Every structure is written in structure tokens, then in C-alpha cells.
A = this chain, B = another copy of it.
Amino acid sequence: MAAAVKHAEYPPDLSPEEQQYLLTNIKDWSIAHGLAVRPAPSFVSQAQDPSGVLATTAPITLFPSLFPRSCFEQGLAIQNAYNELYSAIARDEEWLKGIVEELIHVDDFVERLWNVHLEVKKEGYVQDLSLGLFRSDYMVHSDQSSHSLGIKQVEFNTIASSFGGLSSRVSSMHRHLLYIDAYPSSSSSIIKADALRQSKATSSLALGLAAAHSAYGSSRTGLPLCVLFVVQDPERNVFDQRHLQYALLEESGVHAFRLPFHQTLSDTKADLDRNLLYTPPSSPSTTYEVTTIYFRAGYSPDDHPREEDWTARVHLERSRAIKCPSILTQLAGCKKVQQVLATPHSPHLRRFLPDETLASRVLETFAPIYPLDESKAGQEARNLATNPDSACKYVLKPQREGGGNNIYRKAIPNFLKGLPQTHWPAYILMEMIEPPPLRNAILRNGEVQRGGVISELGVYGVCLWRKGSGESDKGEVLQNWEAGYLLRTKGDQSEEGGVAAGFGAVDSCCLVD
């Protein structure tokens, strides 16, 4: 890999004057273009800015990170197949039931999500369309035996796939910095126009929401139509979400409102036909019929502290609005599904992707993943995980979404010692992907940190499908497209990857052959 050769000289060293010019331009361009977040409370306290008007540059890399061109193209090319795959899983309730039943006694959150589905199923679903705004995350893996590079999947997100709004801007910013000669000429053979890749995620994800809005059809109530963004409150990463909302309005003319999840029951209701009606608190005399619910909340137990939050979840799920995602789609994103697909010689992938070529290309992107249950593969995994010598090549991940709770390498054996064995099946064991070493510099809260980094490529996908009515009708995919990319980069000393959580930065790709 050229990048492996070049990484020692990349990114280029900067004189103090070069660094100042680069940073000044980054700090100004980012705010001028909404590449921003609300500052963390540790940076600006609520007492200092009670109304929350301050903003700061989002955590970003000073340079676009090197990324192998073939891996980038592989990730984008395969996204349609992943959209097909996860749409098919979400439509296969029986199969999902088997997955969930393995988790239900060890993962309360999965159990509650499944119960939401069962409750709505009992009454009968009234909306057979589902929207997925997916993001498939990969790292570059250097195969020691074949000496080739490929991407290996870290996780597949089926709910609240974030940073699409900022990823478009960070790739624009890196291109701008190149254009104004903010990168030293010593790097001009690497950072060049045809190596940088613009992410179209903002516009493309917004088009996905517009497609669902349109597929919903005309108003059944005579009320005006809208999309709801169901969000956390407060939300520091609000501009990422706002950029989608603005694109949805400007490019498709579709109105959307932000609904804090905890206000769901007070601000929405379902009529007798289960049309979802939203009355903005700011406009009590105007009620909207909701076509599409876009969840940017609801992916973690923390979003459901009260019993009524589950009532709210049922209320939304049973409504006629198209969910992005539905409960079944959310469940399709649990790590257990990824593990079941990626367990060597698994028969499941072909069940959902009958096309052998597509299936084999997807299979290439799986890193070996083992269950921690009492199956044969599970027993093998338990031996690997409890032995400090072998555990150091693995990561232990909880089955559910959201990130932030992974256990890495040497920490695994002790962690498992502290956990009753009956709870072990709530985790999967995944071989660590070993990416080629890279360096970059990250700007966060005004401070620059340089050093070794690890980058994760996220490829967005939009998929709209109709679920089938039963055995003879398995439904169909109505829309399916790759929707741009995100590069997230973190220091290689850190072992968590969420930018918003404070451990990484939004980045863009500088492709190398």
C-alpha cells in the first residue's frame, strides 16, 4: 500500500506560521459553513451561556486522512448490497425472532424493543413501508497472508446514523484548504484535487427522507404533511441534524420539525385510523399529519428512562407514519445479527442475498465474529476471550447499538470474570481489525493533537422498502442508493470511536493508490 510507504511523511510537518494559517482558516471556514457543534459543558458551562448561543468548530482533522482508493471504492460499491441485506433481514420477522430470543434474557433493551413490536403486531401494523438511512462502518485491514488491503466491517448502523450533515462539509473544507494553498507544497503530490472525495451525504440522506415522505402519499386527514425528527434534548450535534433538515426543505420542499423524544406523548397523537398527528407547541392551532419519523434518538436505554418512554415508542410504532427505522429494522442492527452473518460458514447471508456474487462481495467485508454462547463456536470464543494471550487480538462488544461500551483486548478476561456467565451471550467477540498505521492532527476545543490515528470509513445508504404480507409476498425494495460517506478518525491510543463522545474527529478521504 502506497499509504503505508507514505505515512511516515504524512501529514507534512508545519512551521508555526503554516500551522497558524491552516488553523485560522479552519476556525473561520468551519463556523462560516456550519461545520460546528455546541460546546461541551466542560468547555462552556450552562451558567455562562444559559440560552445556548455559543458554538464551536466540530472536532475535525487538519488534513484529509490517507485512504486506499480501492478500499474506498469497495465500500461505496457494496452499499447497495448492504441495503438489500438489511432490508431483507428487517422483513424476516421469524428469523429476527430467533436472534432476539437468544438475547432477550440478557439484554433488557432488546427485550423491550421486541415487546414493542409484539404489541403493535397484535393490533396489526398499518404501514408497510419502511425507510432505512443506514451507515456501514469499516476499517482498512491489511491481510498478512495475501498482502492485500480490504475493508472489514466494524458495525452496521440501522438507527440514527450520524454525521452525514457534517461529513459533506468537512470534505468541502479540506478541498477549500487545498485550493487556498493552506497545505504545504511538500504534500502537493498527495493532497491533490483528484485525490479528495466530496461526500454527498447531506443531500443524499435528505433525498431519502423526501422519498419516504413522497411514498407516504397524500394526506388522509386533509391536514398539512410533515416529517418529524425525533431527537435527544439537549443535542450538541444539532447542526449535523439541521443540515439534513435544511436540505430536505430547500431541495425537496418538505417541512420537518424537531420533536424531543420525551415530548412525544404530549405533542403527538394518533387518530382512530392511526394517522400520526403532530401539533407544534409553538402553533397549537395547526396540526400536521406525519409522513415519516426520523429517529435521532431511541437507540439507547438512556433515551428511555421512564416507563412512558416505552409507551411513546409503541405509540409511534403503531402509527401510520413511515418509521426510519422501524423497530424490526432497529433490531436488525444489533451486533448479534452482524455476528451471526459473520460467523465462518454461516448459512444466513445467502438467505437474504441469494445473488452469489453480491453475497461473496459482502462476505469479503466481514471480520470473523464469534458468539459468546454455548454453541461450539461460542465455546471456542470463550477460550479465546478468557486467555490474556489470545484476548489481546479481540474486542468484546455488547449486542446493542450505540457504541461506547466496547471492551478491548487485555481488558476482556477481567471484564468477563466480573460478569455472570449467563450474561456472556449479550456480547460478541470480534477479531480486531488491524489497520495500517497512519498519522494526522485533530482540532478539538481549540487544541491540536498530532499523532498516530485510526480511521473508520462509514458509507451511508438509503433504502425504502415495502414489507410483504406473508410467505408468498416477501415485500420489495422501492428505493436503494449509496448516499455518500463519512471518515471518522481517532487517536490510536483511544479505543472508542464516537466523535460526539469526545474521542474522534470528522475527516475526509485523501485517496492513495
**Which A residues lie at the B interface, using CB under 8 A?**
15, 17-18, 20-24, 27-29, 31-34, 36, 39, 44, 48-57, 179-182, 184-185, 238-239, 242-243, 246, 249, 255, 258, 280-286, 443, 445-447
A-B contact pairs, 6 of them (CB 8 A): A21-B281, A21-B283, A32-B34, A44-B54, A181-B286, A185-B283
| Copies of this protein chain in the complex | 2
Give the distance in Å from the alpha carbon of A74 to the alpha carbon of B48 in the complex. 45
A27 neighbours in B (Cβ, 8 Å) = 51-53
**Top 4 closest A-B pairs, CB basis?**
A21-B282, A51-B446, A32-B34, A53-B446
A285 neighbours in B (Cβ, 8 Å) = 185
Given contacts A34-B33, A36-B31, contact A56 B53 (CB under 8 A): yes
Closest to A37 in B: B31
Closest to A38 in B: B31
Q: Decide: B280 and A21 in contact? CB cutoff 8 A.
A: yes
Give the distance in Å from the alpha carbon of A33 to the alpha carbon of B34 in the complex. 6
A48 neighbours in B (Cβ, 8 Å) = 44
Give the distance in Å from the alpha carbon of A281 to the alpha carbon of B21 in the complex. 8
How far is the CB of A242 from the nearest CB of chain B, in Å?
A: 5
Q: Decide: A446 and B180 in contact? CB cutoff 8 A.
A: no
Closest to A55 in B: B31
Given contacts A27-B52, A51-B447, A54-B56, contact A18 B283 (CB under 8 A): yes
Apart from the given pairs A17-B282, A32-B239, A54-B56, 14 other A-B contacts in the complex at a CB distance below 8 Å:
A15-B282, A17-B281, A17-B284, A20-B282, A21-B283, A31-B31, A31-B34, A32-B243, A33-B34, A39-B54, A51-B447, A52-B446, A53-B56, A180-B249
Q: Decide: A28 and B180 in contact? CB cutoff 8 A.
A: no
A55 neighbours in B (Cβ, 8 Å) = 31, 36, 54-56
Give the distance in Å from the alpha carbon of A39 to the alpha carbon of B238 in the complex. 20
Give the distance in Å from the alpha carbon of A34 to the alpha carbon of B172 in the complex. 15
A21 neighbours in B (Cβ, 8 Å) = 280-283
